[in-house]
Amino acid sequence: MDATGGHGGDGAVEQVSVRLAGVAAGTRTDGLLLGIDFGGTKMAVGVADGSGRLLAHRRIATHAERGAPQALDRALALAAELVAGAGGPLVAAGVASPGVVRPDGIDLAPNVPGWERLRLADAVSDALGVARVAVDNDLNAAALAELRLGALRDADPGLVVGIGTGVAAAVTVGGRVLAGHRGAAGEIGYAVAGGPWPGTMLELDFSGRALDRLADELGVAGQAAGLAAAAELPGSARDALTARVDELARHLVTCCLLLDPQRVVLVGGVAGSALIRGLLVDRLAEVLPHRPDVVLSRFADDAALLGAVTLAREAVPAAR
């Protein structure tokens, strides 16, 4: 599920910006690192120095309705442009993608038609001439960024919950992200919601796209963000949004009871709503016997991108 990207906006290309990120402990590499975060709504591409410090990044619209090939081609063209602008050799790339990534395709990534047929590592290697390409689920990448640079550096176990175009979770234990037997750990977007059995999927009830649809049904302008704004006041918008938050909260309660996390980190565009965060925190606090810290990622929409850069950095063998 695509769970980390921002949601809403007009899809305009952002200007190249210089950013400084925290640098994880480890050996600096010579040359450049590339990070690509593919999302159902937007894609982010960043170039970092050998220590993992972002030099420049740009975000562009995915245009999911136009299919996977054009999204991949535009992201790779942007990557080549940023690498050329930064100068120096590209030594490794990291890619964050929705779904469960296999060498010959991608499972559980329904938001961009044709995404399941992509071979991302091969495509990036062929287009940019880089031998080391690490690919992982987008929320796993975001969790890696939280482990190395963010809110989970001093918390174990940790739970990262992504609410963007879709919804998903990632579990961290002992400084590692748990992939699961098939790489599908944390795909809570497929959890059973509503009734009668088998009801529907959680992602169809609560996600950026689900809230966009709800806003449209209620006649509220501004999609998910407009719905959250309207729900600040009592009325039908607040009642409807609260019912959807309740559904998500039930599943997060189960996740917390199973894992007993020290800290829960919220990432993604929808998680940026103070109202939604407040409702979730209140519901967890009301029923959990042991309450974890619940915090908003300080990386805003960049957690998966920073995780992709970290994947690239950790793909380079440490110097002896």
What is the pairing mode between strands 167-173 and 176-177?
antiparallel
Give the bridge partners for 96, in sequence order. Answer: 37, 136
The two tokens of residue 279 are: 């409702």
* Cβ burial 247-276 (10 Å sphere, 16+ → b, else e): bbbebbeebbeebebbbbbbbbbbbbbebb
pLDDT at 25: 44
pLDDT at 23: 43
Calpha distance 181→26 (Å, rounded): 28
pLDDT at 13: 32
pLDDT at 5: 63
The pLDDT mean for the chain works out to 91
What is the pairing mode between strands 90-97 and 32-38?
parallel
Residue 320 confidence (pLDDT) above 60: no
pLDDT at 8: 46
Q: What is the pTM of this model?
A: 0.90
Q: How many CB atoms lie within 10 A of CB 192?
A: 12
Q: What is the mean pLDDT of residues 34-62?
A: 95
In this structure, what DSSP letter does residue 151 have? T
Q: What is the mean pLDDT of residues 267-279?
A: 95
pLDDT at 41: 87
More confident residue, 6 or 32: 32
pLDDT at 9: 40
Contact 140, 94 (CB under 8 A): no
Residue 7 confidence (pLDDT) above 80: no
Calpha distance 105→70 (Å, rounded): 17
pLDDT band for position 317 (cuts 50, 70, 90): confident
Q: What is the mean pLDDT of residues 198-209?
A: 94
Residue 88 confidence (pLDDT) above 70: yes
Chain Cα centroid distance, residue 269: 9
The one-letter code for the residue type at 90 is L
SS3 192: strand
pLDDT at 30: 81
Q: Which stretches within 33-173 are classed as H helix? A: 68-86, 120-128, 138-149
Q: Cα–Cα–Cα angle for 265, 14, 75, nearest 5°? A: 80
Calpha distance 219→215 (Å, rounded): 6
DSSP string, 100-133: EEETTEEES-TTSTTGGG--HHHHHHHHHT-S-E
Terminal CA-CA length for the chain: 38
pLDDT at 150: 97
Calpha distance 295→317 (Å, rounded): 33
The two tokens of residue 118 are: 């992509």
**Which residue in 281, 101, 251, 245 sits closest to 169, CA to CA?**
251
Q: What is the mean pLDDT of residues 266-287?
A: 96
- List C-alpha distances in Å: 158 to 182, 233, 311: 20, 33, 19
pLDDT at 165: 86
Sheet holding 133-137, edge to edge: 54-61, 42-48, 32-38, 90-97, 133-137
- Give the least confident one: 14-28, 60-74, 103-117: 14-28
Calpha distance 241→238 (Å, rounded): 5
Q: What is the mean pLDDT of residues 201-229?
A: 96
pLDDT band for position 110 (cuts 50, 70, 90): confident
pLDDT at 6: 58
Q: Cα–Cα–Cα angle for 176, 48, 155, nearest 5°? A: 25
Contact 158, 296 (CB under 8 A): no
